[in-house]
Amino acid sequence: MRLDKYLAHATGLTRSRAHGMIRSGQVTVNGAVVKIIGHKLKPDDEVVWREQSVELSGKRYIMLNKPEGVVCATHDAVHKTVLDLLGDEGKKGLHVAGRLDIDTTGLVLLTDDGDWSHRITSPKHGCSKTYRASLAEALAPSVVEQFAAGIELRGEAKKTRPARLELLSPTEVRLTLDEGKYHQVKRMFAALGNRVVALHRERIGSVALDESLLPGQWRELSDEEVAALTA
């Protein structure tokens, strides 16, 4: 996070007053005066203003590009977890807002704000999730209507909600769901006698995975992205 934004968030100063404090040399980072308002802070940096350590008390919102083989869990005896990928940030009470399977890649959101993650995951709010999937068998164009009409999943009394399917090639699709049942994408294709061979989450609501994040990398969400998911 930028130093000016951090100072303003943590102290309640306006952004322009925070600029004044930084430019006049009243702020140190790891013991050294920093006068650059856009100075990029690293997770463990210690910021001091007027001889007081400045801690962010606000909520945290993070997007991560999950690689294959990593689990969306807080602890796992065998596999690396998404929290392990965050390093020390992962020890600060964050949780996953909408899990992915171990072999699914792409956008994972993490936060310590329970209300915010509830809006993303609760079926009541219908927050959409967009996936790109590769299939074992070629699809007929008629599957688009089948997904729009809802699919009967094994062991479920009700059909899935209408889903938007875009055929990118006979074996590649983009699928947008407004719900998140257990293994939903894989189960929807299995119900049609097909099999998902690769699955990647591209988007949650209006927030897309930042293309500059390599697998395993993460960044803080912007204020606009946080707000877009609560709108």
In the bound state with ligand URA, the residue whose beta carbon lies nearer, of 96 and 185, is 185
Considering only the C-alpha atoms of the chain, give the largest distance between any 2 of them, rounded to a whole number of Å.
Answer: 67
Does 101 qualify as catalytic in the annotation?
yes
The 10 Å Cβ neighbour count of residue 162 is 13
Please provide residue 142's backbone torsions phi and psi, each rounded to the nearest 5 degrees: -65, -15
Q: By CB under 6 A, is residue 184 in contact with ligand URA?
A: yes
CB 52 within 8 A of CB 199: no
Rounded least distance, CB 225 to ligand URA, Å: 20
In the bound state with ligand URA, the residue whose beta carbon lies nearer, of 29 and 153, is 153
Q: By CB under 6 A, is residue 101 in contact with ligand URA?
A: yes
Catalytic residue among 45, 101, 113, 178: 101
Q: By CB under 6 A, is residue 27 in contact with ligand URA?
A: no
In the bound state with ligand URA, the residue whose beta carbon lies nearer, of 110 and 185, is 185
The 10 Å Cβ neighbour count of residue 117 is 20
Please provide residue 36's backbone torsions phi and psi, each rounded to the nearest 5 degrees: -95, 115
Q: By CB under 6 A, is residue 104 in contact with ligand URA?
A: yes
Side chain identity, residue 180: G
Terminal Cα-to-Cα distance of the chain (whole angstroms): 23
Cβ neighbors of 111 (< 8 A, separation 6 or more) are 59, 60, 61, 62, 94, 95, 97, 117
Rounded least distance, CB 53 to ligand URA, Å: 40
Pick the stretch among 5-13, 51-59, 109-117, 182-190 that binds ligand URA (CB under 6 A). Answer: 182-190
**Residues of span 188-227 touching ligand URA by CB under 6 A:** 199
Catalytic residues: 101
Site residues, ligand URA (CB under 6 A): 100-101, 104, 183-186, 199
